Amino acid sequence: MIILAIDTSAVASAALIRCHEPLVPEAAGAAVLASFATEDTRSHAEVLAPGIRALLAEQELAGADIARIVVGVGPGPFTGLRSGIATARALAFAWDVPLDGVMSLDALAWDVVESGAPADGFTVAIDARRRELYWAQYAADGTLVDGPHVTAPQQLPSLPAYGAGAGLYRWQLEDAGASVDEAFAQAQPAAASLGLVAAARLGAGAPLLDTTPLYLRDSDAQVPGPRKRAL
């Protein structure tokens, strides 16, 4: 079985995951066939579809070969998340395959656990702009403990913090009692890890999310009010 994973919560990324059937927990039978991720946090719509097309061509696959699509549902900015989720929904409809969501921060937490997570747990954080972070707290095995949230950096727990958001606000986090892992100071959620998270959960019989985006903020766009009278 081949899963197409997509995430645009921070950067645009996609990956093809091969899973042996039946699926098993811990993604033991899953492997990343191919993946791409940009460094730009503002060009999701321009690069995502061509990137997916290139991945399929590289592996000599077509839409008919994809058994399931999983997409990161955030948290993240409106424009970025819309690009990824809209693309995933369109492809799932066109290819007539199941579509599921995974919280994007879970992908970053997967990477932390794979590298050896602290015994007392940790947080992962990405930039939410406006001097805030999107973050969540996890146990050492990657189980979600709290979140996701969008807050000022000083409001994160006093735990080791991972991710590009932690690297961006290192001094504020350290002043508040947290520590920043240097190896993950520029890390963003990636579709390859998102796909492995999905494979592990499907293998364990755990439910995935729907594709409702986790914006965590109200939209800046407002419905215009009535025109003011000139007289």
pLDDT tens for each residue of 91-149: 999 999 999 999 999 999 999 999 999 999 999 999 999 999 999 999 999 999 999 99
Q: Are 70 and 6 in contact (CB under 8 A)?
A: yes
Block residue for tokens 């973050």? 135
Over residues 191-220, the pLDDT tens digits come to 999 999 999 999 889 999 999 999 998 655
**222 pLDDT above the threshold of 60:** no
Distance CA 74, CA 15 (A): 17
Distance of CA 210 to the CA centre of its chain: 14
**Which residues, other chains included, contact 200 with Cβ-Cβ below 8 Å and sequence gap of 6+?**
25, 26, 27, 30
Inform me whether the pLDDT recorded for 221 exceeds 60: no
Neighbours of 34 (CB within 10 A): 17
Residue 39 near residue 11, CB atoms below 8 Å:
yes
Q: How confident is the model at residue 25 (pLDDT cuts 50, 70, 90)?
A: low
What's 209's DSSP letter? B
DSSP 153: G
Longest distance between any two alpha carbons in the chain, whole Å: 73
Query: Which residue segments constitute the domains of the chain, with CATH numbers given?
Result: 2-104+189-203 (3.30.420.40), 105-184 (3.30.420.40)
Residue 54 vs residues 15, 18, 57: alpha-carbon distances, Å: 11, 17, 5
Tell me the mean pLDDT in the region 66-88. 95
Q: Helices marked H in the chain — which ranges?
A: 44-58, 78-95, 104-116, 164-168, 170-175, 191-203
CB atoms within 10 A of CB 114: 11
Q: pTM score, two decimals?
A: 0.91
Rounded Cα distance between 127 and 168, Å, is 8
Handedness of CA 12, 108, 105, 151 (dihedral sign): negative
